[in-house]
Amino acid sequence: MQLDSQERLLSFQFAKVTCSSEISAQTGLCSFCHLKTLPEILELDFSMLVSALNLNEDQERQFVLYLELEALKAAIAQYLCIEHPAYDAERCRITSIEHSGDSIDIALIILPPKELPKITSCSSVKTKPEALS
């Protein structure tokens, strides 16, 4: 996340790392938030963003938007040293803050939850044909 000298958002990058590949966020959230203040971003509503970013019909991008917004809010809350529902101190950690003449660069990592739900692969699910009546 990069901020200007007045702590307004300039840009951020988000990627979800999975077992097989990296999923980049191309939801439009970065452009939407450009030059917004940190408190303004913390107040953003997911449902409003889905509509504003025209993601109503794209559930996969909605899911990535949800993760992206959660990560952005967590980084902001931790940077501001405030408690926020999006910020889980056990999972979210700022790894670096660098100040240059006119910007602030902040890096954050979010770890997976300690307890993940059991995931059943599609190939392991056996379906029984329904009886015709």
pLDDT per residue as tens, the chain (133 positions): 999 999 999 999 887 766 665 566 679 999 999 999 999 999 999 999 999 999 999 988 898 888 888 888 888 988 998 887 766 777 788 899 999 889 999 998 887 766 655 555 555 545 555 544 4
pTM over cut 0.95: no
With a CB cutoff of 8 Å and minimum separation 6, the contacts of 76 are 1, 38, 41, 42, 84
Query: For residue 78, what are the CA distances in angstroms to 82, 91, 101?
Result: 6, 11, 22
Integer Rg of the chain from CA = 18
